[in-house]
Amino acid sequence: MTTTPGLLAAVTVGLVVIGLVAGVAGVLAVRQRAALVRDVGTFSGPLSVRAQDIYRSLSEADATAANAFLANGVEPAALRQRYLDSIAQATASLAVALRDADDRGAAKLDVLARELPVYTGLVETARSYNRLGTPLGGAYLREASGLMRQTLLPAAHDLFQIEADRLAQAQRDGATFPWLVLALCLLALAALAAAQVLLARRTNRVINVGLAVATVAALTSLGWSTIALTGAGGHLDDGRERGSTQVHVLAEARVAALQARADEALTLVARGDGAAFEKDFVATVERLAGADGASGLLGQALAGASDDRDRQLIQEAIDQARRWVALHKEVRGLDDGGQYLDAVKRATDPGAQGLPATFGHVDDALTRGLAAANDRFDAAADDADGALRGADIAIIVLTLLLVAAAVVGLQRRIGEYR
């Protein structure tokens, strides 16, 4: 260290170590970020969708079973098939989710797996008594709906929330800024600059080609890794803001609409003893659309819509929800006035302007909105993966170039003293 060759040899070793540490940190950061992106795109994201499917399918099954019951024994084939499809979808999603869920999610899935057969058994018993025209059918249906609302749906909602939080955490982890990589790359650049200043003072050589090439390699590596990592993080942020956050709101809105639809039918099934169901309907609709019909979850979804198509879908849901509530009031007026059969007829009107069709428009608009938000989430995850593709290989090559150029450049100066 007391001679120029010894000092230059020490500088060479220092540059090699700093360059390798910066390169390794960059490669590890890229690969860790890529693993997080893959987790979001192929694990946390799909698992969140499965939880959403379970939550929605169970709510849809409850609403469909209640409305099919109003047919007085012979439920419409379309409603029966829809109920069976909802149960099948919930069962299939449950089986897949059980494979990948963590301990908290698995506990909720165990509740669902244990109680879902009990619920379907109660519904089938209710159907049997309903076909025979006995009042026990209504009692069994209310028991089934109570099990759904008090046990199954809370467990499904908790699962949905657990997986949504897990996905959001993965997205936040994947979007963090690579401060360590930036610091190490800047340290490597500072070391290269200091080495060139020292070399110029000791040897009176203004430019060292090897160190100049190493500096360019370090700058390129810094730029490439920063752009790749921040680009992937930006896509994940975009997927959270325009995709998964909106999915969460729309899923809650659709479940609320389905629960209100079930309350509507159960109020009629109870034949004058459905005040509790009507009260729940009013509270659920207010949560869905607010007291003014344009706030609540639907208003939140409208505010979070990312483009005109989304806003149009949510506005359609708002408009149809208002019409649905108006038709519901007509049904309640007939039922409360002692015209039960007319109320049932109004509630089951198969026409294009009837209550079932109007609710169908609400549900369809929310379903399409959910599909669009899920597509945006998937696209953002794919873009994040694309931003990182090849970055680790590039950093490895640039790091080796940095080290080799620094060693060659300084070795030539050291060799001049021999």
Cα–Cα distances in angstroms (integers) from residue 269 to residues 132, 147, 274, 324, 336, in the given order? 15, 17, 8, 19, 13
Distance CA 43, CA 47 (A): 6
pLDDT at residue 232, rounded to an integer: 87
207, containing H or E segment: none
Q: What is the mean pLDDT of the chain?
A: 86
Write out the two tokens for 41. Answer: 């795109």
> How many CA within 13 A on the CB side of residue 186?
7
AA identity, residue 47: L
- 10-residue mean pLDDT profile of the chain (418 residues): values are 76 90 91 84 75 87 86 75 91 84 86 92 89 82 89 89 82 80 90 86 76 91 89 84 84 89 88 84 92 88 87 92 92 89 87 89 90 86 87 92 89 70
Question: What is the residue whose two structure tokens read 């109003």?
Answer: 70
Rounded (to 5) percent helix, strand, coil in the chain = 85, 0, 15
- Asked if 260 and 149 touch (Cβ cutoff 8 Å), the reply is no
What is the pLDDT, as a whole number, of residue 7? 80
Integer angstrom CA distances of residue 297 from 29, 50, 125, 291, 301: 38, 21, 35, 12, 6
Contacts of 59 (CB under 8 A, 6+ apart): 153, 254, 255, 258, 259, 262
Give the whole-angstrom CA distance, residue 341 versus residue 267: 13
- Reference 55, options 66, 63, 44; nearest CA is 63
Q: What is the pLDDT of residue 117?
A: 94
Nearest residue to 356 (alpha-carbon basis) of 56, 82, 142, 54: 82
Q: What is the pTM of this model?
A: 0.78
What is the per-residue pLDDT for 400?
A: 93
